Amino acid sequence: MNRSTDTYRGLIDKITKEYSKSLVAKIRKLAEQLKNVVKIMDFCGTHEWTITHYGIRTLIPDEVELIAGPGCPVCVTPAYYVDQLISLSLEGIEVLTYGDAVRLPASAGHTPRSLLEAKAGGGRVHIVYSFMDAVKYAKTRSNEMVFFAIGFETTMPSVASVIMKGKVPKNLSVLTAYRYTPPIVKHLLTEVGAVQLDGIIAPGHVSAVIGASSWEFIPKEYGVPTVVAGFEAIDVLAAIEKILEMKVRGKAGLINEYSRVVQWDGNKLAKQAIFEVFEVRDAYWRGIGFVRESGGFFKDKFKEHDAIREYGLKDPPADLSKEVVPGCKCHEVVLGLSKPTHCPLFMKVCRPDSPYGPCMVSVEGTCRIWAEHPEFLRLEEIKSVGAALKDLE
Amino acid sequence: MCLGIPMRIARVWSEGELKLAEVEAGGVRTEVDVSLLEDIRVGDYVIVHAGIAISKLDESEARELIKLFNEIASELS
Ligand code: SF4
């Protein structure tokens, strides 16, 4: 063992130290050549975390606007799944899921308001780290259980891999709330009233699975420069620099900045596993609506594992009017149409320790990320007061 | 659960058709599914998502970044 975890970390830190300054300088130089404000969407919650945590918005000129995107699975998971699982848990069917999913708010007016509240009221809910953990847990017990499978292409392989190998005990079924990311990007680029984007920082780890090539359609069909980027500050800066460069040259393309993890065609085995187990159907995104061919559901071949079939759950149910809890703008935040600070409930009714809306639940939710960076909020406040004063002049 | 963490492979074994590994990062050790990666060896870095390794980290590519940034730095000067 001649390498330690520190080697990689050390390398990244060294690169960051040596090159951040010149990247920021280059970004500023490019920004001078821009005619209009350039809007860049950072798709992933983890990108948004890096941007907020390292104050990247304060390092780059005002002409470059970074907008948080839909890359938070918990934020877009329909409330009706939560309602259905709460009912099952209260009927004695044990619900297994991730730590953030148990805090996800059910639909408006529903009590209990989350799986966690259901648990406090006698519902059977158990937190696991992964699907493999859920399988292990189910094997040691005989009661009926459902795993709540939330996520994008990054988490789909975790269920597909185990299911394919027939390793799942009979007492465990899976409720698939899986969503694919390219369809929501397409939705963002085509929907009337959507933000006009000039660049997209594409998801790094999703691309590790589906391949950087999955984003070729963005520059080709929509003329929007796209960079697949890693999650270090230096990666995000490099992505911004590359997008601006393309913008200035007037040439939209696709660049894979994260080649240390992402291959052009992705992970072949993971893609095969997803394809083998799931079929693609139109699916509902919380508060956003139906997005074409964006949901992953069990193929018939694997129907004995499917909780939706087993418990006769309606997906989607007829009534979708209660998906948004009153006042919450999470569905707008996710699409870049609102900022958390536009929400009157932000940091008042809705806080990281007591999330009211879905964007406050997970560490990938923009509201939660902003809430956990008070110094950044202070800067936002100063900026908006400054803008208001300017308007008065 | 969309967070991916680079972790180092400490041990690899098989359980039926599943390939499992013990991975380590920052002193934390955990067991993950590595069935969807070819050619996994002790000492490799992998990106782990919700209990499954989805990609191998290529250190030589990380060094490629330096080349890219050097270009930018030299363009500036
Ligand atoms: S702060 Fe809370 S209530 Fe407001 S948009 Fe965000 S998640 Fe919704």
Question: B66 — contact with chain A (CB < 8 Å)?
Answer: yes
Which residues is A149 bridged to in the sheet?
A: A176
pLDDT at residue A390 in the model? 79
Cα separation, B1 vs A126, whole angstroms? 16
Q: CB within 8 A of A175, min separation 6: which ones?
A: A81, A84, A85, A146, A147, A148, A149, A307, A308, A313
> Between A and B, how many CB-CB pairs are < 8 A?
163
Q: What is the pTM of this model?
A: 0.93
Question: Cα(A336)–Cα(A320) distance, rounded to whole angstroms?
Answer: 22
Write the pLDDT tens digit of every residue in B28-75. Answer: 899 999 999 998 999 999 999 989 999 998 877 777 777 777 777 777
Q: How many angstroms is it from A368 CA to the middle of ligand 1?
A: 9
pLDDT tens column, A79-132: 999 999 999 999 999 999 999 999 999 999 999 999 999 999 999 999 999 999
Q: Residue A6: its pLDDT value, please?
A: 60
Q: How far is the CA of A329 from the centre of ligand 1 (A)?
A: 6
Range 242-281 of A in CB contact (< 8 A) with B: 257, 259-263, 267, 269-270, 273
Structure tokens at A136: 């292990």
Which percentage of chain B shows pLDDT scores above 90? 47
Query: Is pLDDT at B1 greater than 50 in this prediction?
Result: no
Segment A348-355 mean pLDDT = 96
The preferred substitution site among A114, A323, A342, A350 for testing ligand 1, maximizing ligand atoms within 8 Å of CB, is: A350
d(CA A119, CA A102): 9
A13 against A310, higher pLDDT: A310
- Checking if the pLDDT of B77 tops 70, the result is no
At residue B9, the pLDDT reads 94
Task: List, in sequence order, the alpha helices (H) in chain A.
Answer: 5-32, 45-53, 56-59, 73-76, 79-90, 115-120, 131-139, 156-164, 181-190, 204-210, 217-222, 233-249, 268-277, 307-310, 330-334, 366-371, 374-392
Angle A222-A228-A229 (CA atoms, 0-180°, nearest 5)?
Answer: 140
Q: Measure A177 CA to ligand 1 centroid, in angstroms.
A: 21
Instruction: Provide the pairing of β-strand A254-256 with A226-228.
Output: parallel
pLDDT band, very low/low/confident/very high, at B3 (cuts 50, 70, 90): low
DSSP letter (8 states) at residue B1: -
Ligand 1, atom 7, residue with closest C-alpha: A357
Mean pLDDT for chain A? Answer: 94
List, by residue range, all CATH 3.40.50.11750 domains of chain A.
38-326
What is the ipTM metric for this complex?
0.87
User: Is the pLDDT assigned to residue B6 strictly greater than 90?
Assistant: no
Interface mutation target, options B15, B23, B45, B69, chain A, most CBs of A under 10 Å: B69
Superfamily of domain A38-326: HypD, alpha/beta domain 1 (3.40.50.11750)
Q: Which amino acid is at A20?
A: S
Find tokens 């185990």 and name the residue: A162
Q: Which of A223, A225, A329, A247 is nearest to A286 (CA)?
A: A329
Give A161 or A7, the one with higher predicted confidence. Answer: A161
pLDDT (tens digit per residue) in A322-349:
999 999 999 999 999 999 999 999 999 9
Strand order in the sheet with A226-228: A64-71, A38-44, A199-202, A226-228, A254-256
Q: Identify the pLDDT of residue B2.
A: 52
At B51, the amino acid letter reads G
Residue B22 bridge partners (DSSP): B11, B31
What is the arithmetic mean of pLDDT over A289-313?
97
Q: Output the CA A344–ligand 1 centroid distance in Å.
A: 8
User: A236-289: per-residue pLDDT in tens?
Assistant: 999 999 999 999 999 999 999 999 999 999 999 999 999 999 999 999 999 999
Across the interface, do A154 and B33 touch by the CB < 8 Å criterion?
Answer: no
Instruction: Report percent pLDDT > 70 for chain A.
Output: 98
Transcribe A54-74 into DSSP letters: TTHHHHS-TTEEEEEEEE-HH
Please list every residue in chain A whose beta carbon sits closer than 8 Å to the beta carbon of residue B30. 129
Compute the 3-state secondary structure of chain B and give helix, strand, coil in percent, each to the nearest 5: 25, 45, 30
